Amino acid sequence: MGRRHLLVATATGMLALATALPASATTGTITVTVGSLSITAPTDAGNLATKAETVGAMVISGTLGVVQVNDARNAAAGSGWVVSVISSAFTPPAGPAIAASLVSYTAGAIVKVGTATYTANNPPDLTGVAPAVTATGITGDNSATWNPTISVAVPGGTAAGVYSAIITHSIV
């Protein structure tokens, strides 16, 4: 009989330990706010290309560097955005400039993340603000990257020198 009581007491003691431990629960929250629509482009593309001076006209082309759009607005289905581009004239330290009307932009391959339809508009003249890449049919967050080629139609007889321009991207 003594043994039987000992087993019962041991089982009861283990049960008492299991229920004696304190229990605690904590509720935590996080907040996700609406993101933004942003664009990044190289701040200094450096020398796009070099060619020897010629008597006739020529085209000098080079890649600008990666342009990226991030759209974290969780846009409603069917939304969109437009990246526009404009260029100043390509100017040398002295002498006549090459007009922005002779500067063209080719987006090239567009790498996308998310749901949207991207269109490269490839403006042939950057005198005024021109659409470069358009996104339509957006659902939710998305991003797009491309490395545009800038082509400058250099008139015949243009003096040798380093010509520079400011190429500006914007997004709406």
**pLDDT tens for each residue of 71-119:** 999 888 889 999 999 999 999 999 999 999 999 999 999 999 999 999 9
> pLDDT tens digit string along 31-67?
888 899 999 999 999 999 999 988 899 999 999 999 9
Phi/psi at 34 (5° precision):
-65, 135
The answer to whether 130 and 121 are in contact (CB under 8 A) is yes
pLDDT for 54 equals 86
CA-based R_g, the chain, Å:
32
Please return the burial class of 156, using the count of CB atoms within 10 Å of its CB with bins 0-12, 13-18 and 19+.
Answer: exposed
- Tally of CB atoms within 10 A around 94: 7
Q: Do residues 67 and 169 lie in contact, with contact meaning Cβ atoms separated by under 8 Å?
A: yes
Helices marked H in the chain: 2-20
Sheet strands side by side (includes 58-63): 58-63, 149-154, 103-106
Give the whole-angstrom CA distance, residue 117 versus residue 133: 10
Domains of the chain: 34-171 (2.60.40)
